């Protein structure tokens, strides 16, 4: 990967490294949390071909997964 530098006022500077902030339950809005759970539940149903399952169980398992990830 190429090293990127910028020139400001005749000085070459290195850019500040950008790191993605890990979403936590403290920084996540309830709407975003619900969206993540809904997407995770959908992907669970999709993996099993939308057959032989329960949307409620998909939601419960997805919610537990998202809560676990947010609290790590």
Query: Is residue 71 scored above 80 in pLDDT?
Result: yes
DSSP state of 61: H
Given a contact cutoff of 8 angstroms between Cβ atoms, the answer to whether 50 and 67 are in contact is no
Cα 30 to chain centroid distance, Å, stands at: 14
Q: Comparing 2 with 68, which gets the higher pLDDT?
A: 68
**Cα 49 to the center of its chain, rounded Å:** 24
Structure confidence at residue 72 as a pLDDT band (50, 70, 90): confident
pLDDT number for residue 54: 94
Q: Report how far apart the first and last C-alpha atoms of the chain are (Å, whole number).
A: 30
Q: Per-residue pLDDT tens for 7-61?
A: 445 565 454 444 445 555 567 899 999 999 999 999 999 999 999 999 999 999 9
Rounded CA gap, 33 and 9, in Å? 44
């Amino acid at each position: 990967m190429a090293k990127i530098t910028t020139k400001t006022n005749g000085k070459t500077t290195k850019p500040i490294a950008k790191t993605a902030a890990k979403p936590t339950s403290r920084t996540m809005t309830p709407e975003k949390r619900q969206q993540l759970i809904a997407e995770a539940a959908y992907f669970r149903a999709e993996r099993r071909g939308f057959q032989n399952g329960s949307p409620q169980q998909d939601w419960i398992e997805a919610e537990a997964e998202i809560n676990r990830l947010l609290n790590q």
